[in-house]
Amino acid sequence: MRVSTTLMSQISVSAMLEQQKKLSDTQLQVSTGKRLLSPSDDPYGSTRILDLDENIGLNEQYQSNAGFAQSRMGLSEGTLQGVGVAVQRIRELMILGNNDSQTVESRAFVAEEVEQLLDQLVSLANTADSNGEYIFSGYQGKTKPFDADGVGNFSYYGDNGQRFLKVGSSTQVAVGDSGSDTFLAIKNGNGTFKTLDDANNKGSGIIDPGSISGAFVADNYKIKFIPPASGSNIDPVEYYVLDGNDTIIEPAVQVGLAEAAFLGGAFAGVVYEEGAVIAGLDELGVKVNITGSPTAAAGPPLEQDIFTIEPSNNQSLFSTVQNFIDALRGPQSTSSDLAAFHNKINRSITDIDQGIGRVLEVRARIGARMNTVDKQLEINESFTLQMKTTLSSIEDLDYAEAITRLNLQLTGLQAAQSAYAKIQNLSLFNYL
């Protein structure tokens, strides 16, 4: 095979260009610190890099979400802490106002302070975050959740929604609680049932909030007082107990009798003893007593002091405070007025305890979610570090190996260039 001078030159030039390309690639690797300059350098490694970059970016978004969640929940927790302080002060004022040493005037002063605290509660419930979104509006972040009409009524304009944020690939947390769940859906009474005195009571009887005795059988029970069967005014009054169908459940000997038949038959009731547990209700889950002196005048028409036990229903925290204010400003001149006042205050204390419990419950839920976010932040940081380590092992350059290779390639290129120059000077005419 004959090798021409032109072919030899082309081979030499191609070899030098290839060496220059390799040298240039190595120099670029050294300057960028990256082993892979294009997908063709390592197709599988390039695919892994894309996946890792995507996961790292997603994890960084989770971290951002977690930071926002911490901020939002921290604001909610701080707000509810303020609510708790205000509500606890209101409860102290309830105890103070319920004391018989207080006068109508001093209770009016208490009412003024409670009104200020009620305004504070409404303001706290309308707290907004740094983005101007109300934290207790549910999904309606731009809508002010609570409004008072100035006459004791409160409206809620939010919804029951609860926003969630993903803070991990399989973890999401609620970043808020609706105003409905926090301030409105609070069971009054003892949380199971509530005790009430009739507005037309004439005596000084005061019913306690009651406690649960076993399983509560939900119904509207009534305790009605009648004159003593002896007919003597010096004997204690008697009472009977009805269920929601106005059927006798106490005295035991008349159980199942209709109220009209009981009264028409002039049956004897249960002799009232101040502070004693009301008979007939304990087996239905109700343990309650009455103090003071309920009265009943013989008719017709029969005048009766009446007390009721009803299942608890939802009552807003604001309504509970407003009821207390109304009681403080209500009539307190007669013994029956004072009995009605103390009954109202007792209910208010029981209701405010339910409100305090709800605030603590919501704060506990927020605290649990904040702990979840803190733990997820640590998991995300560890995961990110692991992915970046893997990414570095794939795409980052081994500088020692690269510099050694650069020197070898540079030496090889210089040798090729020197050889090419010598070959170019070779000619047959030099030997003729």
Q: Is pLDDT above 70 for 87? A: yes
Q: How far apart are CA 350 and CA 194, in angstroms?
A: 9
Amino acid, res. 281? L
Q: How confident is the model at residue 39 (pLDDT cuts 50, 70, 90)?
A: low
More reliable by pLDDT, 264 or 222: 222
Start-to-end C-alpha separation, the chain: 24
Mean pLDDT of the chain: 87
- Token representation of residue 268: 């004897």
Mean local confidence (pLDDT), 131-137: 93
Q: Domain locations in the chain?
A: 52-188+313-396, 196-311
Q: How far apart are CA 344 and CA 326, in angstroms?
A: 9
Q: Is pLDDT above 90 for 310? A: yes
Q: How far apart are CA 278 and CA 406, in angstroms?
A: 99
Fold of 52-188+313-396: f41 fragment of flagellin, N-terminal domain (1.20.1330)
What does the pLDDT look like over 179-232, one tens digit per residue? 999 999 999 999 999 999 999 999 999 999 999 988 999 999 999 999 998 888
Mean local confidence (pLDDT), 324-338: 94
Which of 174, 179, 185 minimizes the C-alpha distance to 80? 179
Q: How far apart are CA 259 and CA 262, in angstroms?
A: 5
- DSSP 3-state percent helix, strand, coil across the chain (nearest 5): 55, 15, 30
- According to DSSP, the β-strands at 206-207 and 211-212 are unpaired
Q: How far apart are CA 239 and CA 259, in angstroms?
A: 12
Residue 293 has phi, psi (to 5 degrees) of: -125, 85
What does the pLDDT look like over 146-175, one tens digit per residue? 998 877 789 999 999 999 999 998 899 999
Query: For the whole model, what pTM was predicted?
Result: 0.81
Mean local confidence (pLDDT), 256-270: 91
Q: What is the pLDDT of residue 148?
A: 87
Mean local confidence (pLDDT), 234-252: 95
Q: What is the pLDDT of residue 397?
A: 64
In angstroms, the Cα distances linking 147 to 130, 270, 425 are 21, 48, 100
More reliable by pLDDT, 128 or 232: 128
Residues 6+ apart with CB under 8 A from 167: 62, 65, 66, 69, 173, 372, 373, 376, 377, 380
What does the pLDDT look like over 283-297, one tens digit per residue? 999 999 999 999 998
Q: What is the pLDDT of residue 150?
A: 76
Q: How far apart are CA 214 and CA 216, in angstroms?
A: 6
Q: How far apart are CA 196 and CA 350, in angstroms?
A: 12
Q: Is pLDDT above 90 for 88? A: yes
Q: What is the pLDDT of residue 209?
A: 94
Residue 159 has phi, psi (to 5 degrees) of: -135, -175
Q: Is pLDDT above 70 for 54? A: yes
Mean local confidence (pLDDT), 377-401: 76
Which of 190, 274, 192, 189 minimizes the C-alpha distance to 225? 274
DSSP 132-165: S-BTTSTT-TTS--EEE-SSS-EEE-S-S---EE
What does the pLDDT look like over 341-372, one tens digit per residue? 999 999 999 999 999 999 999 999 999 999 99
Q: Which residues pair with 222 in a beta bridge?
A: 242, 308
Q: What is the pLDDT of residue 202?
A: 94
Neighbours of 48 (CB within 10 A): 16
Q: How far apart are CA 97 and CA 104, in angstroms?
A: 10
Q: What is the pLDDT of residue 153?
A: 87
Q: What is the pLDDT of residue 420?
A: 63
Do 146 and 120 form a contact (C-beta atoms < 8 A)? Answer: no
- According to DSSP, the β-strands at 306-311 and 221-226 are antiparallel
Q: What is the pLDDT of residue 313?
A: 95
Q: Is pLDDT above 80 for 282? A: yes
Residues 6+ apart with CB under 8 A from 79: 124, 127, 135
